[in-house]
Amino acid sequence: MAIVFEQPKRRINWFPIVTSVFGVLFIIALAYYLFFAPTPNIEAVLPEVLEKTNRISDLEFTDPTLLLSSAAYKALRVYVGAPSSGTLGRTNPFLPL
């Protein structure tokens, strides 16, 4: 009778290999985007916002007496009265009604 000794098969542990390959690829991509990728211009990213800001900052203050003394402004009616504090409650809330 022959005695056969089989060597156990070595299984490959894929988790450390995949993790290290992913880590290396991540570092390469990070280095590329930090140091070698072209930077976007601010004007290309936010043109409308900068244009609106420019228009607002160029406004000049005008004297409001011209508006306040106009006949159209004086013809406006007051539909709502001035706000008031109203009733805040009783002086002693623990007394019976």
Segments making up each domain of the chain, as ranges: 13-54
Residue type at position 12: I
Q: Collect all residues with Cβ–Cβ distance below 8 Å to 42 and sequence separation of at least 6.
A: 50
Task: Identify which of 65, 49, 66, 45 has the alpha carbon closest to the alpha carbon of residue 57.
Answer: 49
The pLDDT confidence band at residue 71, using thresholds 50, 70 and 90, is very high
- The band of 46, judged by pLDDT with boundaries at 50, 70 and 90, is low
Where residue 45 falls among pLDDT bands split at 50, 70, 90? Answer: low
What global pTM score does this model have?
0.38
Q: What dihedral do alpha carbons 36, 42, 48, 49 form, nearest 10°?
A: 130
